[in-house]
Chains A and B, each alone.
Chain A
C-alpha cells in the first residue's frame, strides 16, 4: 500500500539531500580552497553525483538494498530490471522508485564528502575512478550491513540517518586517501587560506536545510518520528554553531564565519545517527559536545598527525558521526522525547562501538587498496607545476574569476 503523505515527504527529502551535494557541498568546499581551484571542486562534486547515480542504477542499489544477506545484497535489482512502476518498498508505504532515489542521494553525498581530503592536488580521472570503486566496495556494503538487513543490523546497531554509513565511512576513508596522496605543496606552513568564506557560508546553510531531508527523511514516512527528527536536527546544529563560535571567541578573540559554519556541520554530522532517537534536550547536549570534540579533532589531525586532510573531513564528519553514533544510547535518555533502543543502554553502547569500529576498519583497509589501485592505473596526483598553477586551468581549462575586463 502506497501512502501519499509518506511518498510526498520522501520525494521532498530526496530533493533536499541531492541539494546537499548539488550545490551545497560543492560551495562549502569550493569556498575553502584557493581561488585557482574553485571550479575543480565544484565539478568534482557534480561528476561524482553523476557517476554514483549510474553505478547505483547498474549495481549499487542491488548491493545495498536488495535481499538481506549478512554481507551483501543479492544482484536481483541489477540495472533496476526487477523494479516495476507500482512496486512498493518492503516494510514501508512508499514506491520502490522513490526509495531508490532517496537512498541514491545518500550514496552521492558520501563519496562527495571525501573530496575535502584530496582537493587542490588530485587528478580528475582519479576522482572518478576512486569514487566509483569506493561506492561499490565501501559504501554499498556498509549501507547493506547497517540499513539493508546485513550483519550489523542483525546485531541491532542503530544509525538513524548515516552517522556510521555516511560519516564514519567518509571520514576514515578521507584521512587514508589524504595520507596516501600526500600533502598539498607547502603544507602545513605555507598553505593558502580559504578564498571565499562567504561561499562556505552559503554552502553550509544549504547543507543545514538539506539535512532536514537527510535526517527527517530517514524516517521513511511522514509523521511523528520525522517531526521530532527535524526538531532535534535543527537544535543540535544551532547549539553546535554557537559553541564553535564561543570557543573561537575565547581562544582567538574573534568568532569567524568559517568557524561558525564548521560548527554547524559538526553538529549536523553528530546528530545524524541519533536524530531519530533523541528528544530536544538530548539534541542540544549532543550539539554542544559535537563542537567541543570536533574543534579538538581538526587541530589534532592537521598539527599532531600532520595529515593534510585538507578540508577536515575526518575531524568534522568522521569524528562527529562516530561520536554521535556512540553517544546515541546515552543521548536518547536525556530529557523526554527519546525513542526506545534495540538493547539495554550498556549493551547498546557496546553494539554501537562495534558498528563504528568495524566500519572504520573496513573503510580504511578498502580505501587503502582502492587508492593503491587508482595510483597504479589512472594516476593519483597532478604534476607539481599543475598544482601550482591550479586545477581549474590545468584540468578543466577554465578560470573561476576573471579579475578585469
Chain B
C-alpha cells in the first residue's frame, strides 16, 4: 500500500476530487495548511502598504491506495491540480505499512 500526500492550490480541490472519484478512489482526507516553496509567498496591499505573506493557504490531500494504483493516482492528482503557475504544489508518496478500518477491524487493502 502507498500513502499519498498532495499539497495543492485550494481552488483545485473540486477538480482533484472529481478526477479521483472517476479513478474509483472514494476516500480522502483534506486539511487546510499554509506554506511556501519556490513561490516564496505573495504580497497583499492594504491602504497602500505592502504586506509580505510568506505562508500562503494550501490544501493537503491524504489518500491511501493499493500499491499498484499509486502511479495512476499520482498522475490523476498531478493533472487535475495543475494550473501551470508557480505555487501549484507537490505530491509525496510513502510506503504504507498497515491500515485498519475501525468499525469492522478489517486490515490491509480491504480497509482502504
- C-beta contact mask, A256-267 vs B, less than 8 Å → 1, else 0? 101100100000
- C-beta contact mask, A288-303 vs B, less than 8 Å → 1, else 0? 0000000100110011
* Partner pick for A299 among B44, B48, B51, B53, CB 8 A cutoff: B48
Q: Is the CB of A189 within 8 A of B52?
A: yes
Query: Is A50 among interface residues, defined by CB-CB distance under 8 A?
Result: no
A248 to B46, CA, bound (A): 10
Interface residues in B, total, Cβ within 8 A: 9
Query: Is B45 among interface residues, defined by CB-CB distance under 8 A?
Result: yes
Shortest CB distance B44–A (Å): 5
A251 to B50, CA, bound (A): 12
Q: Is the CB of A252 within 8 A of B45?
A: yes
Q: Is the CB of A256 within 8 A of B51?
A: no
Residues of A within 8 A of B51 (CB): 191-193
Query: Is A194 among interface residues, defined by CB-CB distance under 8 A?
Result: yes
* Partner pick for A262 among B44, B47, B52, B53, CB 8 A cutoff: B47
Query: Is B102 among interface residues, defined by CB-CB distance under 8 A?
Result: no
Query: Is A188 among interface residues, defined by CB-CB distance under 8 A?
Result: yes
* Partner pick for B49 among A188, A190, A254, CB 8 A cutoff: A188
Query: Is A312 among interface residues, defined by CB-CB distance under 8 A?
Result: yes
* Partner pick for A295 among B46, B48, B53, CB 8 A cutoff: B48
Q: Is the CB of A302 within 8 A of B45?
A: no
Q: Is the CB of B47 within 8 A of A259?
A: yes
Residues of A within 8 A of B45 (CB): 248, 252, 254, 256
Closest to A312 in B: B47
A188 to B53, CA, bound (A): 14
- C-beta contact mask, B36-74 vs A, less than 8 Å → 1, else 0? 000000001111110111000000000000000000000
With most chain A CB atoms within 10 A of its CB, the pick from B45, B47, B53 is: B47
Q: Is the CB of A298 within 8 A of B46?
A: no
A251 to B49, CA, bound (A): 12
A189 to B53, CA, bound (A): 11
A190 to B51, CA, bound (A): 7
A254 to B53, CA, bound (A): 18
A358 to B45, CA, bound (A): 36
Shortest CB distance A329–B (Å): 30
* Partner pick for A298 among B44, B48, B52, CB 8 A cutoff: B48
- C-beta contact mask, A180-217 vs B, less than 8 Å → 1, else 0? 00000000111111100100000000000000000000
A99 to B51, CA, bound (A): 45
Closest to B48 in A: A299
A258 to B44, CA, bound (A): 12
Closest to B53 in A: A193
Shortest CB distance A264–B (Å): 13
Shortest CB distance A345–B (Å): 34
A256 to B47, CA, bound (A): 8
Residues of B within 8 A of A298 (CB): 47-48
A299 to B48, CA, bound (A): 7
* Partner pick for B46 among A188, A189, A193, A251, CB 8 A cutoff: A193
Q: Is the CB of B46 within 8 A of A258?
A: yes
A193 to B50, CA, bound (A): 9
Residues of B within 8 A of A197 (CB): 46
Shortest CB distance B36–A (Å): 15
Q: Is the CB of A256 within 8 A of B49?
A: no
Closest to A244 in B: B47
Residues of A within 8 A of B47 (CB): 258-259, 262, 298, 312
Shortest CB distance B34–A (Å): 12
A262 to B49, CA, bound (A): 13
Residues of B within 8 A of A295 (CB): 48
Closest to B51 in A: A193
Residues of A within 8 A of B49 (CB): 188, 299, 302-303
Residues of A within 8 A of B52 (CB): 189-190
- C-beta contact mask, A316-350 vs B, less than 8 Å → 1, else 0? 00000000000000000000000000000000000
A194 to B44, CA, bound (A): 10
Closest to A303 in B: B49
Shortest CB distance B74–A (Å): 29
Residues of A within 8 A of B44 (CB): 193
Across the A-B interface, the 7 shortest Cβ-Cβ residue pairs: A193-B51, A258-B46, A299-B48, A252-B45, A193-B44, A193-B46, A298-B47
19 pairs of residues in contact across A and B, judged by CB atoms under 8 Å: A188-B49, A189-B52, A192-B51, A193-B46, A193-B53, A194-B46, A248-B48, A252-B45, A252-B48, A254-B45, A256-B45, A256-B46, A258-B46, A259-B46, A295-B48, A298-B48, A299-B48, A303-B49, A312-B47
Q: A191-B51, A192-B51 are in contact. List 4 more A-B contacts (CB 8 A).
A: A248-B48, A256-B46, A299-B48, A312-B47
